[in-house]
Structure 1
Amino acid sequence: MNRRKFVKRAGAGAVGVAGTALAAPAIAQSMPEVKWRLTSSFPKSLDTLFGGAEHFAKAVADMSDNKFQIRTFASGEIVPGLQVVDAVQNATVECGQTAAYYYFGKDPTFVFETGLPFSINQRQYYAWLYHGGGHALLQDFYKTYNLISFTFGGTGCQMGGWFRKEINTVEDLKGLKFRVGGFAGQILTKLGVVPQQIAGGDIYPALEKGTIDACEWVGPYDDEKLGFNKVAKYYYYPGWWEGASVGSLYVNIKAWEALPAAYKRMVETAADAVTAWMVPKYDAGNPAALKRLAASGTSLKAFPRPVMEACFDATFATYDEISEKNPTFKKVYEHLKAFRADQNLWFRVAENTFDNFNFTMAAKGR
């Protein structure tokens, strides 16, 4: 080959390589700078719930080379913890982290994204939302509130809460001032409970002062951080109103539509990362926290069977009453109820059989 031609071609190749090397920063530079604010329903002290928002914001920043920045604000820093939907809907902020059932007073249909009492467990709920059609149904509902929603972590089955006195019969529920989240309070009124909806950071002082008689939050890992064992002795389980509990990331529709496609994908990916991260973190932290609570003098108790059955009956009576008045609720409820029947049939075959055997052997020290 002619040396002059070789050098010429090599030089052209070098320019091509250099051009390719420069292309990545050029593309990065072409991405717009976007700054969002995220308001949360949770205090900073809850490193798993509020930590999910921080985890999300960091993932988005990393994926965008810091071009897409989301500042996170704890409950009360921009709006109170129970006003996240309003803040996102009205574009006070672009997005918010919350539990959907806090807003059941706007429409009972909100409860479905957090978890329907006495319905399905955490894995089954994710299956319904992601692959069973649940998420699509809820997005149609959220459009009327100027929102788009993303699954945003969860807690697994929760505890039933902290009580100053024992709950031995259904009669013991009458007149009980109980901080209980969202929809469960409406159900429990049928049994004489006086529900109180209070944001996470405000529960301890209310229990300490006697403004409430009992409270529920999540489970041992968070409850220990909030110090409930210092002011209430009896710790009941299970939290039947949240056999699964799913978090929500709400995004203002106009803010969402203004995002480049690549940034939309980052939001989706980061929200999925939070969902994959949060429940395992609780599962890892709860056992040790429960042991510490028991060692501190906490009395661990299961709700008596008659109490559970009364709550179950009140729950399904409530579903029927709401379905008669609210066609949107009825549509989603019937969809989830059919999904629940199939899931419970399947889980009884393998999952439940394995778990029960394994738990029995562990109780024998094996």
Structure 2
Amino acid sequence: MALLNRLGRRVALGAAAASIALGLAMSEAAAQERVRWGVPIAFGSNLTALGDTLPWVADRLRAMSGGRIDLRVQEPGTVIPALGVFDAVSEGKVDAGYTWMGYEIGKVPASALFGATPFGMEAIEFSAWYWFHGGKDLLMKIYERHNVVPIFCGAISPEGAGWFRAQITSLDQVRGLRFRAAGLGGRIWERVGASVQLIPGPELYQALERGVLDGTEFSLPTVDEQLGFQRVAKFLHLPGWHQPTTNQFLYVNKAVWDKLQDTTKAMIETACQAGVAYAIARAEALQGAVLNRFREQGVTVAQLPEDVLKRLQQATKEVLDEQAARDADFKTVLDSMRRFQAEHQPWKHLGYLPRNWPATQ
């Protein structure tokens, strides 16, 4: 009987210890703060790989945090203008927002290099430079002055060079062309003679249809298909020289970010890093099929002539060097990018099969 009593006491003590441990674990879980942000996005969540990345990231965060981190996506124009995410976050009008980095080029010239550098790095290269060659540190220092914490949170494959009413065979056709372009790409089109306008995505179909524009660039072929460009312009030119990658960022107001627990920050940053991989893979998965559909619908899909690309590349160097001479941050970022590209070039050239190498059948 005494032995049974002793065993009973041990079982009771063990159960009590387990109960205390469970209580502590539950207490620690309960200590995870709640985050409820309305997050305006610059592109509609229906746009494949461009607008649906942040919703995916938000879903992952809800799953990881048991619903305690809840980023509530707000469609473009419902809370703030589609192109106004940076200003709204910087001024504290919203806690966070999601956008292509570069619309704020007028206030932060270096932003355009992070969003997309013409004739620059592709998505994987940019990711390598950003995370492992100092890009992130440079960006954080620049945006801290604007009360914004930028988190790399999406990257996609090259855009189309543009949709046109007539096939581009020489730069003579570009002079006076009414063309929609953004960021540094827009400045380069202007340098070679185009009349450039910046118009939000949802308005582009109508602008093409009514003849307000002679051509436009916007995004991936899949996104362009969703916007219907193939119905009003029958020539799609590639490659996306102006945006070899399109990089999107989650902007968080610095005062809001600084108040977060380290565990919360880590989950948001990790989910965004996963979002980069998700968006790259999703973008790459879908473009071949849509180019085939365009051809079936009577669209001519063609590369820009080599002489046109060479002139655009020359204009790119002129524009980038001029901007670097005007803005110290721009120069610092551009120099860093160019150093990495020079170091990486032998591997890029020799480490991969040539792009025109036939696939094994």
Q: State whether structure 2 residue 263 is matched by structure 1 residue 266.
A: no
Cα distance in 1 between the residues matched to 2:48 and 2:117: 25
Partner of 1:360: 357
What SS does structure 2 have at the residue aligned with 1:148? strand
1:50, CA displacement in angstroms?
Answer: 2.0
Contact 2:179 2:214 in 1 (8 A): yes
Partner of 2:21: 20
Pairing of 1:292-307 with structure 2 (within 5 A) = 292-307=293-308
Pairing of 1:138-287 with structure 2 (within 5 A) = 138-287=139-288
Pairing of 1:58-207 with structure 2 (within 5 A) = 58-207=59-208
- Tell me how many residue pairs correspond in the alignment: 360
What SS does structure 1 have at the residue aligned with 2:157? coil
Pairing of 1:19-38 with structure 2 (within 5 A) = 19-38=20-39
What residue identity is the alignment partner of 1:345?
P
1:242, CA displacement in angstroms?
Answer: 0.9
1:83, CA displacement in angstroms?
Answer: 0.4
Percent identity over paired residues: 29
Partner of 1:320: 321
Partner of 2:43: 42
What SS does structure 1 have at the residue aligned with 2:51? helix
1:360, CA displacement in angstroms?
Answer: 3.4
1:107, CA displacement in angstroms?
Answer: 2.8
What residue identity is the alignment partner of 2:201?
G
What SS does structure 2 have at the residue aligned with 1:154? strand
Cα distance in 2 between the residues matched to 1:36 and 1:94: 6
What SS does structure 1 have at the residue aligned with 2:169? coil
Cα RMSD for the two superposed structures: 1.5
TM-score by length of 1: 0.95
CA deviations over 1:231-274 (Å, ceiling 9, x no partner): 00000001101112211111110110111111111110111111
Residues 47, 312 of structure 1: alpha-carbon distance in 2 compared, 3 angstrom cutoff: closer
The structure whose residues are more often helix, as a share, is 1
1:339, CA displacement in angstroms?
Answer: 0.7
CA deviations over 1:123-153 (Å, ceiling 9, x no partner): 1111000101111111111111111111111
What residue identity is the alignment partner of 2:358?
M
- Once the two structures are overlaid, the 10-residue window that deviates more, 319-328 or 230-239, is 319-328
1:116, CA displacement in angstroms?
Answer: 1.0
What residue identity is the alignment partner of 1:270?
A
1:199, CA displacement in angstroms?
Answer: 1.7
Any gaps of 5 or more consecutive residues in structure 2? none
Partner of 2:338: 337
Contact 2:181 2:217 in 1 (8 A): yes
What SS does structure 1 have at the residue aligned with 2:182? coil
What residue identity is the alignment partner of 1:316?
K
What residue identity is the alignment partner of 1:48?
A
Cα distance in 2 between the residues matched to 1:217 and 1:42: 11
Contact 2:42 2:82 in 1 (8 A): yes
Contact 2:36 2:71 in 1 (8 A): yes
Contact 1:41 1:199 in 2 (8 A): no
CA deviations over 1:275-302 (Å, ceiling 9, x no partner): 1101111111111111111101111111
Contact 1:146 1:252 in 2 (8 A): yes
Partner of 2:292: 291
Cα distance in 1 between the residues matched to 2:159 and 2:51: 17
TM-score by length of 2: 0.96
What residue identity is the alignment partner of 1:226?
L
What SS does structure 1 have at the residue aligned with 2:285? helix
Contact 1:102 1:181 in 2 (8 A): yes
Residues 23, 199 of structure 1: alpha-carbon distance in 2 compared, 3 angstrom cutoff: same
